[in-house]
Amino acid sequence: MPYYTKKANKKRLDSSTQCTFLPIKLKNCFSKDTMQDTKPLYNSRIIKVYLDYLEKYYPDVDRESLLQASGMTLYEVEDHAHWFNQDQVDRFQEAMINQTGNEHIARDAGRFAASTEGIGIMKQYMLGLMKLSTMYLMMGRLIKIMNRAVEVKVRKLGPRKVEIIATPEPGINEKPYQCQNRMGMFESAAKLFTKELAHIEHPECYHKGGKYCRYIISWDTTPFARWRIIRNYALILTCMVTVALLFLDSIELWPEILAGSAILNLLLFFVSDRLENKSLKKSLEMQGDAAKEHMEEMNSRYNNALLVQEIGQATSTILNPRSLIRAVGGIMEKRLDFDRGAIWLASKDRTRLVYQFGYGYEHEHEFLLRKTHFHLDNPHSKGPFVASFREQKPVLLNDIHENGDKVSERSLFLARELNVRSLVCVPIVYEKESLGLLTVDNLHSRRPLTQTDVSLLIGVASQTAMSLVNARSFQKMQDSEKKYRELVESANRIILRLDTKGHINFLNEFAQKFFGFEEREVKGKSVAGTVLLEGETVEKEVRTLLERIQAHPEKRFTRETRSKRKSGKEAWIVWTFRPIYNSDGVIYEILCIGNDITDLKEVEKERRELELRLQRAHKMEAIGTLAGGVAHDLNNILAGLVSYPELLLMQIPEDSKLRKPIETIQKSGEKAASIVQDLLTLARRGVAVTEVLNLNDIISDYLKSPEFENLQENHPAVTVRTDLETDLQNIMGSPVHISKTVMNLISNAAEAMPDGGSVMVSTKNRYVDSPMKRYAHVDEGEYAVLTVSDTGIGIPEKDLDRIFEPFYTKKVMGRSGTGLGMAVVWGTVKDHNGYIDVQSTEGQGTTFTLYFPITRRQAAGKGREVSQEDYQGKGETVLVVDDIQEQR
């Protein structure tokens, strides 16, 4: 009941306890600082108490105009998690006084709080404590639940008396009506227990110059407590009467007195227990209601927490926009307390708002939504959907039909078709750009929509916006990558992407076909050993390339490399390198674009070989011309140097001092003759006469020859071992040239071991199934292989390319050698369509491997041996013709 209608309560308010104010003067209480104060201080439950009070005692008051005048909305008041600022509650108080004319409405509303449902949390705490004094002692904590503007301290003064001090927080401009409201609350709190208002004394008031507001509160005992006291006293009195009766002589009165006392005590016990049980039952019922409210709130918070978690998980893993929208909608349906919900997105041209996903709608309703498009390009559109999208603000309509002036006819038609009454629209916004809308409504539960619902949906919309942008960006990146990949795949070039350590991240289809690898076979592997020949310097070269690119990013870097295909064939590729930067401007990949120049290399190689052959031919022609021009004259001169010393040695005694000089002249002539013979061999390149022969026979014949015996005499510390394959295949060739080759190789090997060593001569059959890159290129085929290895001083790497050049020798002074022996070996191998390989390590030795193509033909049988008598003849005459007299 309003404050001014209770005369009994008016008498309690003396001048020391009143905070007087008039509605006309209320505006003067609001300073500019207060009007600018937007700090949330007062829970929406306080305003809910006022509205419930007005609905009961002032039903004609327009609550909507009160809320509009104070800058509040009904859904904010219904939201128990919402808080209002000082300016809003001041304007609300002013509007109430002006409309009701009740100067003490704040205190009346405070008293009314004890029975309103808008403050259920406070009831739970009050009744849960079960003792009024304890409840008052906890008043400081209870007030903080709804009011952040004051600090409250409580002190117990007696069994039924407490002191409460309320001090406004620094910077808070509290008004006198708020003091009155507190007094009403303090009074009504006792009524929950005693059915009577508490007695309030207010000796000091903050609004009258005091440091704080001080309240002295006292209360009467509860009815069941009073009856309990009467019951206890009656019981004691009954005991005393019973004892007194023992001293009376009128025994006939005892039964009536005792029966009456017993009946009286039973009645007292019954009444007190009934009142106490009734109070306890009411308390338990209200506690159950509060507990139910708490459980519902806990379930709501739990579902909200799961909502955030599940949306976070979904948006972090789903990168398809359509799948993302369906996932978010499904989680909203599962976790939010709304009967229906929908997600709308703007079209690509941003002219329409299109339905994407919904739940809770019947089939015909969803069909209608799918056909409905809201026009974003129409400046006259004023529906809540378009307004929320354009203004990027949420819209909450608790009754869409009462807001007809704010809703278009089309929106009202759609609302009627879908049976929509209350509605929440929340824009999906990313970086000030609207992407779409989340909309929810309650069709069946009719639960009022609140600001908490709006806040929760804003969080869902924000997370959805970010994830939607990410999904669209990912899709654009995929589309771009697809176009790029199609362009790259269709390019008729080798395209690779390497990381900074030289590992393959990508190779296009052309590269896969070229190298013979599928992408999965080489992805993540080093470029060395896959598309390039193995080498320890690849990573170092990649690092050097990175340093060069970072130092000169504007330049293009190219390089030729020798690559390897899966089949084993080698290829030459010229690469162009470009850096790929990440978002931080750091190089994280290298784009490699390659062109196959193998054919160009082969042409160039053939050109170089042709040039070399031409140079060699010129050199050999010069040597041949030289040899042809002087060989005859040299032979005539050498004939005398070789033959006459032999005749002289036959005529002088063995112990003659002239024998040694003559033998030296003879050996020098023989060496000169050998040089002339080598010159003639190089000049007459080409094997005119070939026959089927076996390398084993050539080697065996040489090892039995006088030349080999002389070699052993000159190099006694050198041993020659053989390892000849028994079934060695035959070859086609010249026995003279092959024998000369074997002799030169073994002779060179022996001379490469001045301190002695071992020479191994071996033969074997070998099938080359794929071309081999050795000292010389070895083609596929069957070969009889001759190998001569020594343990000598080896050949320096820088000299390997020149050892087969005529007249090139590295032998020191005092050793034999003209530089023609290896040239003769090379020429002989090439004349027999063979190949030669050289492997040498300084200080360890050298190995020559000769590949001769085999033949399936068999060697012809040996003819009849000619006897010495046949050579001597039977008196025939031999005519010798020579222009040099000394030769005849």
Dump the DSSP string for 818-855.
-S-HHHHHHHHHHHTT-EEEEEEETTTEEEEEEEEEEE
Taking residues 274-279, what's their average pLDDT?
68
> Residue 623: its pLDDT value, please?
63
- Is there a contact between 173 and 31 (Cβ–Cβ < 8 Å)? yes
Does the pLDDT at position 761 exceed 50? Answer: yes
Average pLDDT, the chain: 78
pLDDT digits (tens, 9 = 90+) for 722-758: 999 999 999 998 888 898 889 989 998 998 898 889 9
Highest mean pLDDT among 182-186, 303-307, 758-762: 758-762
pLDDT digits (tens, 9 = 90+) for 142-155: 888 889 999 999 99
Give 89's pLDDT tier (boundaries 50, 70, 90).
very high
- Is there a contact between 127 and 68 (Cβ–Cβ < 8 Å)? no
> Residue 126: its pLDDT value, please?
45
Burial of 511 (0-12, 13-18, 19+ CB in 10 A): buried
| CA dist list (Å): 370 to 357, 361, 415, 464, 762 | 9, 12, 15, 21, 89
pLDDT digits (tens, 9 = 90+) for 657-709: 888 888 888 878 877 777 777 666 665 555 555 789 999 999 999 999 888 88
Buried b / exposed e along 577-600 (16+ C-beta atoms within 10 A)? bebeeeeeeeeebbebbbebeeee
pLDDT digits (tens, 9 = 90+) for 782-796: 999 999 999 998 888
> Residue 74: its pLDDT value, please?
79
Taking residues 345-360, what's their average pLDDT?
92
Question: CA torsion, points 449, 454, 455, 457, in degrees to nearest 10?
Answer: 120
> Residue 23: its pLDDT value, please?
36
Taking residues 829-853, what's their average pLDDT?
90
Does the pLDDT at position 114 exceed 70? Answer: no
Burial of 764 (0-12, 13-18, 19+ CB in 10 A): middle
> Residue 864: its pLDDT value, please?
56
- Is there a contact between 488 and 519 (Cβ–Cβ < 8 Å)? no
- Tell me how far apart the alpha carbons of residues 727 and 258 are, in angstroms, rounded to a whole number: 144
Does the pLDDT at position 643 exceed 70? Answer: yes
> Residue 250: its pLDDT value, please?
58
Does the pLDDT at position 531 exceed 80? Answer: no
- Top-confidence residue, 35 or 707: 707
Taking residues 370-399, what's their average pLDDT?
86
Give 25's pLDDT tier (boundaries 50, 70, 90).
very low
Lowest mean pLDDT among 132-141, 188-197, 382-391, 437-446: 188-197
pLDDT digits (tens, 9 = 90+) for 861-877: 655 556 656 666 777 88
Give 21's pLDDT tier (boundaries 50, 70, 90).
very low
- Tell me how far apart the alpha carbons of residues 269 and 320 are, in angstroms, rounded to a whole number: 75
> Residue 355: its pLDDT value, please?
93
Does the pLDDT at position 829 exceed 90? Answer: no
Does the pLDDT at position 304 exceed 90? Answer: no
- Tell me how far apart the alpha carbons of residues 878 and 149 are, in angstroms, rounded to a whole number: 147
Q: Find the helix or strand (DSSP H, E) in which 514 lies.
A: helix 509-515
For 684, which DSSP code?
T
> Residue 35: its pLDDT value, please?
43
> Residue 624: its pLDDT value, please?
57
pLDDT digits (tens, 9 = 90+) for 412-425: 888 888 888 888 99
Does the pLDDT at position 3 exceed 50? Answer: no
- Is there a contact between 342 and 436 (Cβ–Cβ < 8 Å)? no
Does the pLDDT at position 579 exceed 80? Answer: yes
> Residue 4: its pLDDT value, please?
39
Does the pLDDT at position 12 exceed 60? Answer: no
Give 576's pLDDT tier (boundaries 50, 70, 90).
confident
Q: Find the helix or strand (DSSP H, E) in which 146 lies.
A: helix 139-146
Does the pLDDT at position 528 exceed 50? Answer: yes
Taking residues 84-95, what's their average pLDDT?
92
Highest mean pLDDT among 527-541, 659-673, 805-819: 659-673
Q: Rg of the chain's alpha carbons, rounded to an integer?
A: 59
pLDDT digits (tens, 9 = 90+) for 475-509: 887 777 777 666 666 667 888 888 877 788 888 88
- Report the residue count for the chain: 888
Taking residues 126-135, what's their average pLDDT?
62
- Tell me how far apart the alpha carbons of residues 241 and 261 are, in angstroms, rounded to a whole number: 9
Taking residues 710-721, what's their average pLDDT?
90
Nearest to 155 by CA among 169, 143, 138: 138
